[in-house]
Amino acid sequence: MLFRRSTALARLSLVALLGATLFVSQAHTQGPASATWLDPYRETATSLIQASTSDDFAWERLAELTDTFGHRLSGSANLEQAIAWAVETMASDGLEHVRAEPVMVPRWVRGAEHAEFVSAPQQALTILGLGGSIGTPPEGIEGDVLMVNSFTELRARATDVAGKIVLFNAPFTTYRDSVTYRTDGARVASQFGAVAALVRSVGPTGLRTPHTGSLHYEPDAPPIPAAAVAAEDADRIARLQARGTQVRVRLTMGARAEPDVASANVVGEIRGRERPDEVVLLGGHLDSWDVGAGASDDAVGCIVTWEAARLMISLGIRPRRTVRIVLWTNEENGLRGATEYAARYGADAADHVLAIESDSGVFAPAKVGFSGGAAARSLVRDIGTLLTPLGLGQIGGGGGGADIAPIARAGRVPMLAYLGDPGRYFSIHHTSADTVDRIAPEEVSKAAAALAVIAYVAAEMPDRLPR
């Protein structure tokens, strides 16, 4: 299924001409579910869906990416090799102006890490250092564990914290509510004199599965080492303490920050045939954490957005506006790719008509979310009716994403996201179990088809989506 560029370009020209003719003769009537304004796009939407769902091309590419390069932490050789592969492969697909736009990214190195009970039994805790954490001295940090279920409880025990290893054992509710202990736990514990922080993994109880992710230090307190512990380990410590056993732990982490290194956003386009300066932006992030294969977070987001463009090219579609694919670098621990893009394209921010992100996996049941003004929302909901054959429900709220947020903020750009089932996504999020084998090929094809249809209509409709 290799795409031959010359044929594709010839088809592009033909379809561009045809498209232009079509749209002159069609009224742009906006309306609800059976919106007639969509009629010019129905046949192409059907073709995109058929093309995407007729084979496992997208999944195979996803597997090739994750199998070949593995996890892709910012600053790693794996990531840079994946970037080079993406540039080459994107160009061979027929995307235009394919380039690697330089971004300097942080390089955080995990090093060896270990935690164990100091008293008998000599036994390890299952931990995973948090991204960005400082390390410990080589001999580790030893301390009695002070377990709290919330920041409120920590503050109530403020006078007990000095010299302790604070364990935040907040039950996992939703990612949004629970992640604050991962991002802010170390900082807050340090304010009260803790020597290290452990955080119950942000995710449902797995199979002794720790979840990493970034933390955030502030100058208001000295940085202290921090690691996630598996839910089972947190539960065990809670039971031991309930029985009156003081738990003492030694934590050893070799984590360290090294100087920034060069990385890049991978950018490729289908240049718009009439309004090339107006851009429908789509992307996922190519970097990942250094465990698992970063398959759902977020190789699949890269693949399904890129695939949206490849499908258009394979069907000879060149829409009115430019479709731009960006495979972001450094989403996980710096957001430098998104920041750099917003800086580079800040002057053109308002020319972005829609920004699309896929960074929540594609696990069924999936949905599409939108954030923007009421007029745009109404139109996007209309477009969503074209996705009925894919079994996706009505487009609701929840558009947005970390990588598109900076440019969207700058240009007041409506945002749209493909949202996989959060239960399945967060069970493997930032873990060694984020691998391709658990992603179904048909879910990848479905996501690619949905994004292709949405991007196509947004790039083709005569008037740009209102802000």
What would the x/- binding string for its own copies be over residues 78 to 107, using CB under 8 A? x--x--------------------------
The answer to whether residues 106 and 340 touch, using CB atoms and an 8 Å cutoff, is no
Q: Does 68 bind its own copies (CB under 8 A)?
A: yes
Helix (H, G, I), strand (E, B) or coil at 104: strand
Select the residue interacting with its own copies from 209, 252, 333, 371 (CB under 8 A).
209
Sign of the C-alpha dihedral computed for residues 118, 124, 128 and 134 taken in this order: positive
Find the shortest distance in angstroms from Cβ 235 to its own copies. 5
Q: Does 74 bind its own copies (CB under 8 A)?
A: no
Find the shortest distance in angstroms from Cβ 459 to its own copies. 34
The answer to whether residues 196 and 114 touch, using CB atoms and an 8 Å cutoff, is no
Q: Does 150 bind its own copies (CB under 8 A)?
A: no
Nearer to its own copies, 36 or 119 (CB): 119
**Dihedral, CA atoms, 308, 309, 314, 317, nearest 10 degrees?**
110
Residue identified by tokens 């604050």 is 180
Q: Does 427 bind its own copies (CB under 8 A)?
A: yes
The whole-angstrom separation of Cα 458 and Cα 383 is 9
Q: Largest Cα–Cα distance in the chain?
A: 81
- 43, with CB counted inside 10 A (0-12, 13-18, 19+), is exposed
The whole-angstrom separation of Cα 285 and Cα 27 is 38
Q: Which is catalytic among the residues 80, 113, 331, 443?
A: 331
Residue identified by tokens 């869906």 is 49
The whole-angstrom separation of Cα 360 and Cα 366 is 9
Q: Does 374 bind its own copies (CB under 8 A)?
A: no
The answer to whether residues 422 and 175 touch, using CB atoms and an 8 Å cutoff, is yes
Query: What would the two tokens of residue 351 be?
Result: 């020319």
Q: Does 2 bind its own copies (CB under 8 A)?
A: no
Nearer to its own copies, 47 or 427 (CB): 427
Q: Does 67 bind its own copies (CB under 8 A)?
A: yes
Nearer to its own copies, 232 or 351 (CB): 232
Size of interface with its own copies, in residues (CB under 8 A): 40
The answer to whether residues 308 and 282 touch, using CB atoms and an 8 Å cutoff, is yes
The answer to whether residues 447 and 284 touch, using CB atoms and an 8 Å cutoff, is no
Find the shortest distance in angstroms from Cβ 240 to its own copies. 5
What would the x/- binding string for its own copies be over residues 265 to 304, using CB under 8 A? ---------------------------xx-----------
The footprint of its own copies on residues 224-253 (CB under 8 A) is: 231-232, 235-236, 239-240, 243, 245
Q: Does 431 bind its own copies (CB under 8 A)?
A: yes
Q: Does 262 bind its own copies (CB under 8 A)?
A: no
Nearer to its own copies, 376 or 433 (CB): 433
Stretch of residues binding its own copies (CB under 8 A), selected from 297-305, 352-360, 415-423, 433-441: 433-441
Select the residue interacting with its own copies from 88, 277, 437, 463 (CB under 8 A).
437
The footprint of its own copies on residues 117-136 (CB under 8 A) is: 117, 120-123, 126
Query: What pairs with residue 211 in β-bridges?
Result: none
In the residue annotation, 331 being an active-site residue is answered as: yes
Helix ranges (DSSP H) in 140-199:
151-156, 175-191
Select from 450, 457, 444 the least CA-distant residue to 317: 457
The whole-angstrom separation of Cα 81 and Cα 199 is 33
The residues that touch its own copies, with contacts defined as CB under 8 A, are 63-64, 67-71, 77-78, 81, 117, 120-123, 126, 205-209, 231-232, 235-236, 239-240, 243, 245, 292-293, 427-428, 431-433, 435-438
Enumerate the active-site residues.
Answer: 331
